[in-house]
């Protein structure tokens, strides 16, 4: 999947390395994934490092490269992606993308499962049984069960994600 730079601040912009800097061999040129041309340039990626790269027009993977980091509200997301690129360059193990914690990923899966169930005609109780198991659901009266409220919230949040809310996942949550 290719994200537009407007949607995903982790898309890294690669351009020509300035001539006044010493040259450097491009250790990554052969590791870039299959590319795709777009109006902004050529998109490619390093899937094992969760990276999407955008080569500016006229720049290729075998050129002397430099990264452009726009200074805006998403600069920390961009620097995080640049750090992942640096680890790939230095042949270090990939870091996990930090935009979602393990708990957020777990809840994300539950939201999508609940939304999928609702879209396919399952009742909230059916969804709860699929998520929590029949023994746990049957332990309390369904109408007053806190698990019922949780499943309803998961389904509503999942439908909101499907309706475009997933775009918020592409950015780190920032304290204001």
Counting beta carbons within 10 angstroms of the beta carbon of residue 154, is it exposed (0 to 12), middle (13 to 18) or buried (19 or more)? buried
> What's residue 24's pLDDT?
81
The residue segments making up the domain with residue 70 are: 11-89
Determine the Cα–Cα distance for residues 80 and 143; give it in Å rounded to an integer.
45
Mean pLDDT score, 7-16 = 88
Residue at a domain's end among 48, 65, 89:
89
Residue 125: predicted pLDDT? 95
Question: What is the 8-class DSSP label of residue 100?
Answer: S
- Which of 89, 120, 152 delimits the end of a domain? 89
108 and 59 together in one domain: no
Whether residue 111 is found in the same domain as residue 71: no
- Is 54 within 8 Å of 37 (Cβ atoms)? no
In this prediction, residues 45-54 reach a mean pLDDT of 83
Q: How many domains does the chain have?
A: 2
Range of lowest pLDDT (26-40, 42-56, 81-95, 143-157): 26-40
Q: Are residues 85 and 126 in the same domain?
A: no
Predicted confidence (pLDDT) at residue 172 exceeds the cutoff of 70? no
* Tokens 């990554």, residue located: 28
**Assigned domain for 4 exists:** no
Q: Does pLDDT of 161 surpass 80?
A: yes
Q: What is the pLDDT of residue 128?
A: 95
Same domain, 119 and 80: no
pLDDT tens, residue by residue, 64-107: 889 999 999 889 889 988 998 888 888 888 777 777 788 888 99
Indicate the pLDDT class of residue 176, thresholds 50, 70 and 90: low
For 12, residues 6+ apart whose C-beta sits below 8 A from its C-beta are 51, 52, 53, 54, 67, 78, 81, 82, 85
Predicted pLDDT at 1: 61
From 89, 113, 148, give the residue that closes a domain.
Answer: 89
């Amino acid at each position: 999947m290719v994200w537009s730079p407007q949607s995903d601040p982790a898309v890294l912009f690669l351009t020509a390395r300035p001539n006044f800097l010493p040259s450097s061999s491009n250790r990554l040129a052969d590791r870039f994934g299959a590319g795709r041309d777009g109006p902004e340039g050529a998109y490619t990626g390093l899937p094992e490092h969760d990276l999407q790269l955008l080569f500016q027009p006229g720049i290729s993977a075998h050129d002397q490269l430099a990264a452009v980091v726009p200074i805006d509200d998403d600069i920390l997301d961009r620097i995080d992606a640049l750090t992942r690129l640096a680890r790939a360059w230095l042949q270090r193990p990939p870091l996990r993308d930090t935009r979602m914690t393990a708990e957020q990923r777990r809840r994300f899966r539950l939201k999508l499962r609940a939304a999928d169930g609702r879209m396919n005609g399952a009742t909230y109780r059916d969804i709860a049984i699929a998520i929590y198991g029949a023994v746990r659901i049957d332990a309390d009266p369904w109408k007053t069960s806190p698990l019922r409220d949780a499943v309803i919230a998961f389904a509503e949040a999942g439908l909101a994600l499907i309706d475009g809310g997933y775009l918020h996942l592409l950015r780190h949550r920032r304290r204001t």
